[in-house]
Amino acid sequence: MTGADRPQAIAAPPGRLALFALLGVCAGLPFYLFSTVLSLRLAQNGVPIAVIGFFAWVSLLPTFKFLWAPIVDRFGVPGFARFYGRRRSWILAGQLGIAASITGLALTHPDRSLTATAFWALALAFWTTMLEIAVDGWRIELAPDAATQGPIVAANIWGYRGAMVAVGSGVLLVAERAGWAAGYLIPAAVALAAFVPIAATRRDAAGEGGRVPALAKGLAASAALFAGLALVIAIAGSALLALAAAIGIGANSNVTPWLLGLALVPFLAMALAIPAIRRRSPEAIAASGAPMRPYLDLFWRYGFAAITLLAFVSLYRMGDVLALTLAKPFVAALGYSLGAIGLADGIVALAASMAGVAAGGLLAARWPAGSTLALGALLAAIGNFAFVWLGARPLSAPALWLATGADQFGNGFAGAAFVVYLSLLVNPVHAAAQYAFLSGFAFLLPRLLAGGAGSFAAAHGYSAFFLMAGTLSLAALLFLPPVLRARPREGVA
């Protein structure tokens, strides 16, 4: 696809930035609830740190979103899609699934059945991912260049990170006073309430029928989808537990060699497949089956440079993902109360995160990509190292605020710069599928290794763990020169 063939950027009309900020809220609200807040809850309920690390694998599910992203590109949720179109139909269904899953997590406290807790965490991760796929595809279609991506990305991530941090903080403050169940039920109610303004948006340009019949049929279809998902999770979960038991993996196992071996598999597979893909003609790629076409197009355009690109995106957010897994259990282990952690997250983290996102989105639209990405990696590493500094100090609210602020500012800046960069790598014809693949792969290796974070911290200590996380953030800089030289070849649509 040539530059001339790309869709022209659409100037954001009044309300578009607000809409994407709301969609960011919808996607960001549940994230901490199946990751960092859940890890703190598990620690409070006496779950061993190594097992808490295993729960980080719940976040692996979004990394495989490219497997079902083509469904979002081609199909809609029955009922909803007829009136709202494909993208919003999945956004609406995702919002309902998010509300139901958070409610399920509320009811599993005090985590006496870790299987039940894991089930609802996986369901929440799945529906959050479906919503993100739909939002990302819609965003890239509306704004395919850097100048228009910057403001929309900033608005979307503002909403995302604002909700993520505010909910994470609010749950802790409520949990300290009214218990974990109440802490989870409140964001479940917020998620359900967010369904209303999205359902009130206007009919799609190609839509037909009435709003009320569309909502009724969409609610029924969403319930059926949730039941089907529950069955898939139950079957897959049982199979994985049986496999782990068969090969001797348990709470006290050293899983790092297994994880590093698994991390190499996709790179080896790509190295074997790329020569055959590159030899195919543009017409053959365009005529390939719909589920595979977006991914064949990506590797056809970038060739072996795709391996370098994917290695870079795997490392870029590595430190943030690893730190996120154990940050709250670490701070709690230092002696800080749920209230102190919640206040730091609610005031300092929110302000620092918003400032980081704003700076990252602004500079991504104005600076060369290499400069913005390099600064983001440096700031992310500083945020990781801040936890090492915090652990060496006596309990102090200002110290907790400073470490939290450094972490959240760096995370927000790097996140905004990274989203803009990934968005410009995709072919807009396959926007949702290719962005899902790139953003999912970006977190595959970090989330895979995060499952062993608890075992590493138990063996070497928290300080060594956060030093490692920061160093890995800086390691991404080694890939910047070849990444910035990578150019796609033209020809496939």
CA dist list (Å): 363 to 153, 415, 455: 12, 12, 38
Q: CB within 8 A of 46, min separation 6: which ones? A: none
Residue 65's pLDDT is what?
A: 75
CA dist list (Å): 264 to 140, 257, 259, 277, 311: 30, 11, 9, 20, 10
Give me 68's structure tokens: 């079902």
At 137, the amino acid letter reads G
Tell me the mean pLDDT in the region 365-390.
Answer: 93
d(CA 207, CA 212): 13
Q: CB within 8 A of 57, min separation 6: which ones? A: 447, 448, 450, 451
Count CB-CB contacts under 10 A for residue 223.
Answer: 14
Is pLDDT above 50 for 1?
no
3-state secondary structure of 342: helix
Give tens-digit pLDDT for 186-222. 999 999 988 998 898 888 777 788 899 999 999 999 9
d(CA 358, CA 353): 9
At the second CATH level, the architecture of 17-485 is: Up-down Bundle (1.20)
Residue 430's pLDDT is what?
A: 79
Residue 250's pLDDT is what?
A: 61
Q: In a 10 Å sphere around its CB, with 0-12 CB exposed, 13-18 middle and 19+ buried, how is residue 204 labelled?
A: middle
d(CA 21, CA 383): 25
Q: CB within 8 A of 444, min separation 6: which ones? A: 60, 63, 64, 263, 266, 314
For the chain, the farthest-separated pair of C-alpha atoms sits apart, in whole angstroms, at 65
State phi, psi for 161 to the nearest 5 degrees.
-70, -35
Is pLDDT above 80 for 246?
no
Residue 228's pLDDT is what?
A: 92
Give tens-digit pLDDT for 108-132. 999 988 889 999 999 999 999 899 8
Is pLDDT above 60 for 92?
yes
Specify whether the CB–CB gap between 170 and 29 falls below 8 A: no
- Across the chain, what does the average pLDDT equal? 84
Give tens-digit pLDDT for 374-386. 999 999 999 999 9
Give tens-digit pLDDT for 131-155. 988 888 777 777 666 666 677 877 8
d(CA 220, CA 328): 38
Residue 4's pLDDT is what?
A: 35
Residue 162's pLDDT is what?
A: 80
Q: In a 10 Å sphere around its CB, with 0-12 CB exposed, 13-18 middle and 19+ buried, how is residue 362 labelled?
A: middle
Is pLDDT above 50 for 283?
yes
Count CB-CB contacts under 10 A for residue 470.
Answer: 24
- pLDDT above 70 as % of the chain: 89
